[in-house]
Amino acid sequence: MSESLTCAYQFVHEETVNALQAKILPSSTLNDLGEFFKVFGDPSRLKILTLLQHAELCVCDLAALVDMSISAVSHQLKILRQFRLIRSRREGKNVFYALADDHVLTLITQALTHLSE
């Protein structure tokens, strides 16, 4: 027998609903949050992020590590930069990439912990 996921009877807990109504995030914020989490939905970007948690890397190094073309890696880096997940540093003619801050590492670590439970 499957258990129903609906209420046994219809009754709105008005006090709870009214208290939480003001806590609903604006649609624009929810859309931004959804787009942010979409960035983490791509395995190539996740691979890049997990590598950057260990060292600053240039596009050529990343391309070799993730087995992608430099152009494809550059495209992924552009997306990660747009969402401020990575930062870049120029050294001569080379540009090195790293995680933008500890928040990015925390997101990845928390997700991995959640998946392993």
Write out pLDDT tens, residues 14-57.
999 999 999 999 999 999 999 999 999 999 999 999 999 999 99
Report domain extents, the chain: 36-116
Bridge partners (DSSP) of residue 86 are 99
Instruction: Say which CATH class 36-116 falls into.
Output: mainly alpha
Top-confidence residue, 11 or 106: 106
Per-residue pLDDT band at 2 (split at 50, 70, 90): low
- How many whole angstroms separate alpha carbon 9 and alpha carbon 23? 26
Q: What is the 3-state secondary structure (H, E, C) of 28-79?
A: HHHHHHHHHHHHCCCHHHHHHHHHHCCCCEEHHHHHHHHCCCHHHHHHHHHH
Per-residue pLDDT band at 12 (split at 50, 70, 90): confident
Task: Specify the pTM.
Answer: 0.82
Bridge partners (DSSP) of residue 26 are none
pLDDT of residue 8: 73
pLDDT of residue 89: 96
Mean predicted lDDT score pLDDT of the chain: 93
